[in-house]
A and B are shown apart, each in its own frame.
Chain A
Amino acid sequence: MRENKKILKAGIIGYGYMGKIRKKIIESSAVLKLEGICDINRELITVDQSVKCKIYDSYKKLIASDIDIVFVCTPNSFSPQIVVDSLRAGKHVFCEKPPGRTLADVKLIIEQEKKRPELKLMFGFNHRYHPGILEARTIVDSKRFGKILFLKGTYGKSGGRNYLQSWRNQKEVAGGGILLDQGIHMLDLFRYFCGNFSEVKCFLSKMFWDTDVEDNAFIFLRNRFGQVATLHSSATLWKHCFRIEIFLEDAYLIVSGLLSKTGSYGRETLTIGRRQFEDETFALGNPREEVVYFDQDLSWEAEVTKFIDYITNDNKVDNSSSYDALKVMEIIERAYKNNSVKGCPNLAGKGDRFHEKRSN
């Protein structure tokens, strides 16, 4: 007998880069139906010929309509209030990362979430669903290579000619710089592998771009088991890079590159190297490696499938939950507070020549 699946009606708030991705995922789902899209810039939606659903100018009207799920894809300064209002209106909410500009934003969301425990709230930490990360996590969980000793992460991009104009790099709207925008994914992965971190050390820099947010962040974390994680999050990596190294007692795993639309982070691979002491091999610290190449990014579909699963089976959200959002924002807030930039010369301004027409 065929299972009769309930169709869940969905709306999207914010029709920028992420909103468009969510539209595609919703439309490819057998369980979701896209009912409406809202953006304060209505033209963003109307120019898109593929939009067949109702268009809203006000998110409040959209969340008042007969929908089950709200996908919140707005800039950081707007997301928390929209999430709170959506929960208040009785909708399940999927919110992009970051979950706001500050830790206080997340706490505000959680306060409302507690009032409606029947609703599901999930955040878009989609890197957890990349094939390289999934496979690395399964290997770690199997414990066949022992415990994790430390993690090293690099995540960076090269900015771009519109870097200074982007809302992502304006403190008022974004709340932070590259660390909050992109580094948050790597910090979330650190937690995904090692749990919570109690110690946070940080250097933030404005090395190149003259904005009011950091363009480089160097973070050191340590948890109660003594596991250490280091992150370099950067907007001045002239070669785009995503790389996480997981060193275990008996092996190392390296996830490098990301399957993405443009492929600019390189082919997504997982390298598995088994520890060989120097006296066990002629390779002298250069052990036999296996490199797994992935060719299919199902991360967007996988995380939304998980979200639907939470809703239809009324399960507790235990992956990319508000707790995960809270804990990662705690790290970021502590990093910003710990930042030892005081007394360090500000090198920023080198990127100015690319922005002669800068408006503000």
Chain B
Amino acid sequence: MKNVVINETGKASEFKPDVIFEKYLKLAEKDVRDEFSQKRNLALSNCPACRSKKKRIVFSHFGFEYAECLACDSVYMNPRPLDAKIKKHYLESASASFWRNTLSKKTEGKRKEKIYEKRFQWFSDIAQNHLPCATTIADFNSKDPEYTKEFLQNGYFKRKIVINPYFNILALDKFNVDASSYPVIEELADSLEDRGMVDVACAFEAIDCFADVELLLKTINALLCKGGLCFVTTISISGFDLQVLWGNSTSIFPPDRINVFSRKGLELLFKRHGFDIIEYSTPGFLDLDIVKNALKKDSSIELPRFVRTILKNGDDQVYQDFQEFLQLSKLSSFVRIVLKKK
């Protein structure tokens, strides 16, 4: 398994400008409390990574409890909404619309440069190395039409499939992309027709907000050819800013993050679904900046003295070196993984 370290720099506010993100969080909280408050719409779950029943409640967000698995240390919302409700949230809620039309728009340039283009480079480089004849790529659970537009216009793969989009696919019209010329599959099912027909699957931030992770991974596995690759990005509870901020993190809230897997949990999850992990990297460059911002907003947050000292006295070089250490040790909270179907 390889680990990739990237000497990138940047600030969290480039992707989530403070004022706009605050507004998004407020809207999301209101939506989530309205949509998911009825108990009958929630289901109890064992650990979605390792299936263990052993857990303890560790914190709550927007009034919903999160449990920590005592077997693999993953953190997950429990009880949790069904996926149909989650999808409805992304399609119809005011907060999701705000994300697409305001937050994503405002940060469009940076997202394109530092997220989307890097993703495309990543999966086309690795596909070239491992599957030089690959032609078909499927993207799962995209929440962002802006990203999907870039995905469809990327020239590396001949055939592109959009699966289970979390936005109205007609939204692509405004980017002059004719969605009807691409195959779009609206629902997940491991009995889809394209079984074994896909060379490469992308699940960017998809396992974070999908309640039935089993179904998601079964579908991906069924669609991929033998030796096919799956590219996953997610955030991990084993990472620095989440470990340090824990319940104070503004990255964990439903339904964007109902699963926050540990490194061990991720490894167990993918192995259980018939994948070899060929890359597990944490090329995040924002952990320290995220903690710094959290402290700025709320100085009463309890932090280890050492972390406070770094934040107070560290210069840019210290920040950069610290992030490099996190990446080397696979301890940044941003995770990227390449899976190969056995």
Binding site for B on A (CB under 8 A): 131, 135, 138-139, 142, 144, 288-296
Contact = CB atoms under 8 A, between A and B. Distances in A.
Interface stretch (B4-12, B64-72, B223-231): B4-12
B172 interface: no
Given A138-B128, A142-B129, A142-B132, A291 B4 contact: yes
Interface in B1-38: 1-8
Contact of A138 (B1, B4, B129): B129
Contacts of A294: 2
Contacts of B328: 293
Interface string B32-61: 000000000000000000000000000000
Given A293-B2, A293-B328, A295-B3, A135 B129 contact: yes
Contacts of A295: 1-3
A292 B128 contact: no
16 contacts: A139-B125, A142-B128, A144-B125, A288-B7, A289-B6, A289-B7, A290-B4, A290-B5, A290-B6, A291-B6, A292-B4, A292-B5, A293-B3, A293-B5, A295-B3, A296-B1
Contacts of B129: 135, 138-139, 142
B128 A288 contact: no
A131 B6 contact: no
Contacts of B8: 288
A342 to B, nearest CB: 47
Contacts of B2: 131, 292-295
Nearest to B330: A293
A208 to B, nearest CB: 35
Contacts of A293: 2-5, 328
A-B pairs with lowest CB-CB distance, top 3: A293-B3, A138-B129, A291-B5
Contacts of A142: 128-129, 132
Contacts of B125: 139, 144
A295 B132 CA distance: 24
A246 to B, nearest CB: 15
Nearest to A135: B129
Given A139-B129, A142-B132, A292 B7 contact: no
Nearest to A296: B1
A142 B134 CA distance: 13
Interface string B106-141: 000000000000000000010011001000000000
A144 to B, nearest CB: 7
A278 B83 CA distance: 49
A294 B7 CA distance: 18
A146 to B, nearest CB: 15
Contacts of A135: 129
A294 B5 CA distance: 11
Contacts of B128: 138-139, 142, 144
Given A138-B128, A142-B128, 11 more contacts: A138-B129, A139-B125, A139-B128, A142-B129, A144-B128, A288-B6, A289-B7, A293-B3, A293-B328, A295-B2, A295-B3
Best-buried of B1, B2, B8 by chain A (most CB within 10 Å): B2
Nearest to B327: A291
Nearest to B129: A138
A292 B7 CA distance: 12
Interface string B320-342: 00000000100000000000000
A65 B125 CA distance: 49
A326 B34 CA distance: 76
B182 to A, nearest CB: 25
Best-buried of A142, A293, A294, A295 by chain B (most CB within 10 Å): A293
A295 B328 CA distance: 12
Contacts of A139: 125, 128-129
A224 to B, nearest CB: 28
A296 B277 CA distance: 13
A321 B245 CA distance: 57
A133 to B, nearest CB: 13
